[in-house]
A and B are shown apart, each in its own frame.
Chain A
Amino acid sequence: MKNVLNKIWKSYSIGVVVVVVGIVLSLLSPRFLSLDNLLNVMTNASLVAIVGLGMTLAIASGNFDLSVGAIASFAGCISFSLVPSIGVPASMVAGLVAGAVVGLTNGLIITELRVPAFIATLGMLTIVRGITLIYTDGKDLYLFGQTGYKVLSGEYLFGIPTPIWLAVGIAILLGFVVNQTRFGRHILALGSNFSAAQRSGIPTSRVLWAVFSIVGVTAALSGLILSSQVLTANGRLATGLELSAIAVVVLGGTSLSGGQATMVGTLLGALLISMVNNGLNLLNVPIFYQELTVGVLMLGALAVNVNQGFDLGSLLRRKA
């Protein structure tokens, strides 16, 4: 019995936590389980989840990307500024391309200048923020009357808001990529042992360029959705997004040391943080305490992650 419990815990710990937290919150606040509230929770989760899914690839490859918040803001501003001249759909594409270009630049800096990802993307964070502020002259960009842009955040398909569809779609796509394709296998090999990957004939540089480009695109998409929610873009958008993105990946169970990835975990990680924030709101907990709670949650998850999975069985035994 304990063995079975332990196995379930090891494979689905984040899922178990999400369910438990869900039950607790629904007992504490009857509003939690209302459809509107649940959709709201999931929409908020999707914003971080989308960039978190890209980040999962980066972390699986043994790297991570600190510039995603800056990319999100950059993509939003580029896209918004182009709407009057090229229209909504093309400007969205332009925003995503901008994200890909910054991501590719990250990859090139890492492989060609041999700068560690931490430094490279930290530098790019500041550079891209700077460029965005220069480009917008530090002002907000509004889309007056261009409600078409709302398709990214305000529209419903079969009663479910677009961001949720996007997050689930990207999770399925990237889950397939990482588990079933050669590119995915190369990412895992790289994150598991870089020299061994090189010696297996893997084109390591190209793999990293692709990984960081994908992270760039997911970051840009998050930025576009964020901007479309308020129909405003500026150079201060999505500050700190990099940390929440890394947090949801870790919460989801992807090891920071690379070599493995779980997209479902990342989705659930994002959902958990969103649920906790929402629950604390419903319970009228002051905002500062919410920050504290989420911080504790992340530390706990990180501790579990570093200790290679939490051995529930041994805890039970110790008690017995």
Chain B
Amino acid sequence: MSENDYRVLLEVEELTRRFPGVLALNQVDFDVRAGEVHALVGENGAGKSTMINILAGVLQPSGGKMLLDGTPVVFHNPADAQRAGISVIFQEFNLIPHLSVAENIFINREPTRNGMIDWTNMNKRAAEALKRLEIDIDPRVPVSSLAVAQQQLVEIARALAFDARVIVMDEPTAALSEHEVDSLLEIVRSLAKDGVGVIYVSHKLEEVFRVADRVTILRDGTHILTDITSNLNEEKVIFAMVGRALVHGKCPDRTLGQVVLTVKNLDVENSVRNVSFELRAGEVLGLAGLMGSGANEVVEALFGLRKAHADEIVLHGKALVIENPRNAIRSHLGYVPNDRKKAGLLPDLSVKQNISIGILERLRKVFWIDGNGEQASAETYRGKLNVRCSSLNQRISNLSGGNQQKVMLARALAEDCNVMLLAEPTRGVDVGAKAEIYTLIDALVDSGMAILLQSSELPEIIRLANRVVVFSSGQSRGELADADLTQESVMALATRV
């Protein structure tokens, strides 16, 4: 494929955006052509989000210019960008859950007749837009009744209904299962074939290589390189992103201790039937499975977040009855939730306060919190986990995703757990922090911690777990270890119905 065959749709030149104290984008050049998928790659904080927000008209650049079909354009607000044919699908969807699929697709431009919404026409046109994507969704059902993957497709259908010529997708597969990722990537390719310019923003290099024609890499707000995908490989990209190489492959050899957790015939309400497993000290047991397979539900049930029943749950030789998270923490179970933003972060509180929230009882002095003790304990974990923040009193919401995630781990560790339930420990975390978290997990199990790891990222499971239980449709489909444990073997079990 020759680069020159395609017409440039959208081009930015020396795009710069300053925030107080930060240069988020520094004279970045970037363009997208009709009919191509152009991946925009970089660690968190590299400037991707700033770029997307400028393209979407949410932020205004501090310098540089934007050209649409060679003509300079300025977007004062998102409506300007949309009128110009640029649609951005943010990671957090802009859908209104109570409204129907069709209403969402035509929001703010509902077809009318005699001043009233023309429902027949609207539903018909929505159905057409969905059909173009070859998806089978009834345009009349409310969006809230759809799965995440389907909601994403509705977003794409909306972009098409707006006659978008450039579609920006921000981490579109963050919440999708592998199977759903496949079909999404197919749709992305077919959009490009129809002449749309797609800007594909993702952490997941594997996807980038599958879908992108060209790749642009940003680091610390500057443009590092742009090249045709076939000229690149994962190593090159990672090196450009972080300036160092990343370890891949299987987990290091692990010395296993005694069985610390036994689960026999666990049923979780509405999701999991009859699951049994054992977890040893010094071990990472992986719970693998696609979204909705039941793996995450098992973790939540063990932490007392779901109604569940088991013939036997034994922790350190004692029968365990977990009714709520408080009991679980008292039994020295640590938990890092799969959705940091929803269930983990206390956004208004400081880094220190986020670390210590579960150990305030221990930090009690007379009837107040021992400030020095709290500071010292937080300081310890900041050092141990290499949390990068300007001060422990900084608000946690100002930290990058990777550092926020380290604070979540610090919270669990501070609670003095010896069995850890980790759900999607590197979701929304950049490559560098991911490597750090892997090393940290290795160190924890080396020191005797037992970890139950739920992850929907196969390379992650393979890299961390020495043994894996694979789930599909709420049942355990088998256990894999040693030489049998490969991405392919896990996938084979996970897709079994």
Contact = CB atoms under 8 A, between A and B. Distances in A.
A259 B346 contact: yes
Interface string B342-364: 11111111000100011011011
B368 interface: yes
A176 B353 CA distance: 16
B305 interface: yes
Contact of A199 (B343, B349, B364, B368): B343
A202 B348 CA distance: 16
A195 B371 CA distance: 25
Contact of A195 (B326, B343, B357, B367): B343
Contacts of A198: 324-325
What interface size band does chain A fall in?
A: 20 to 34
B369 interface: yes
Interface string B368-395: 1101000000000000000000000000
A290 interface: no
A34 B480 CA distance: 83
Given A185-B357, A259-B349, A203 B326 contact: yes
A181 B367 contact: yes
B17 interface: no
Contacts of B343: 193, 195-196, 199
B329 interface: yes
Given A180-B369, A195-B343, A199-B303, A259 B361 contact: no
A259 to B, nearest CB: 3
A197 B325 CA distance: 10
B411 interface: yes
A188 B358 CA distance: 13
Nearest to A259: B348
A191 B349 CA distance: 10
Contact of A200 (B330, B357, B369): B357
Contacts of A180: 368-369, 371
Interface in B290-345: 303, 305, 324-326, 328-330, 335, 337, 342-345
Q: Which of A189, A191, A196, A198 neighbours the largest number of chain B CB atoms within 10 Å of its CB? A: A196
A81 to B, nearest CB: 36
Contacts of B345: 193, 196
B348 A191 contact: yes
Contacts of B305: 199
B369 A182 contact: yes
Nearest to B364: A182
Interface string B260-301: 000000000000000000000000000000000000000000
Interface in A160-191: 176, 180-182, 185-186, 188-189, 191
A199 B367 contact: no
A192 B337 contact: no
A216 interface: no
A198 B327 CA distance: 11
A203 B329 CA distance: 12
B360 A182 contact: yes
Nearest to A255: B348
A201 interface: yes
Interface string A191-233: 1110111111111000000000000000000000000000000
A196 B305 CA distance: 12
B346 A196 contact: yes
A194 to B, nearest CB: 10
Contact of B335 (A191, A199, A259): A199
B325 A188 contact: no
A201 B325 contact: yes
A182 B363 CA distance: 9
Given A182-B360, A199-B305, A192 B342 contact: no
Contacts of B329: 200-201
A199 B337 contact: yes
Given A176-B368, A182-B360, A185-B353, A201 B346 contact: no
Nearest to A182: B360
B349 A189 contact: yes
A201 B343 CA distance: 12
Q: Which of A185, A202, A258 neighbours the largest number of chain B CB atoms within 10 Å of its CB? A: A185
Nearest to A186: B360
A181 B367 CA distance: 7
Contacts of A195: 342-343
Contacts of B371: 180
A63 interface: no
A260 B342 CA distance: 18
Contact of A196 (B303, B344, B361, B363): B344
Nearest to A177: B368
A213 B198 CA distance: 56
Contact of B348 (A186, A192, A200): A192
Contacts of B364: 182
Contacts of B367: 181
A198 B325 CA distance: 7
Contacts of A186: 360
A188 B396 CA distance: 14
A201 B411 CA distance: 11
Contacts of A201: 325-326, 328-330, 358, 415
Nearest to A199: B325
A176 B371 CA distance: 13
B60 to A, nearest CB: 13
B368 A192 contact: no
A2 to B, nearest CB: 12
A116 B342 CA distance: 19
Contact of A181 (B326, B349, B369, B411): B369
Interface string A296-319: 000000000000000000000000
A197 B368 contact: no
A177 to B, nearest CB: 9
Contacts of A192: 346-349
B342 A200 contact: no
24 contacts: A176-B368, A180-B369, A181-B368, A185-B360, A188-B349, A189-B349, A192-B347, A192-B349, A193-B343, A193-B344, A193-B345, A195-B343, A198-B324, A198-B325, A199-B343, A199-B344, A200-B329, A201-B325, A201-B328, A201-B415, A202-B326, A202-B357, A259-B348, A260-B348
Interface of B: 303, 305, 324-326, 328-330, 335, 337, 342-349, 353, 357-358, 360-361, 363-364, 367-369, 371, 411, 415
Given A182-B364, A188-B346, 10 more contacts: A180-B371, A181-B368, A182-B368, A186-B360, A189-B349, A191-B348, A192-B346, A196-B344, A198-B325, A259-B349
The 7 tightest CB contacts between A and B, nearest first, are A259-B348, A182-B360, A201-B326, A192-B348, A180-B368, A192-B346, A201-B329
Interface of A: 176, 180-182, 185-186, 188-189, 191-193, 195-203, 255, 258-260
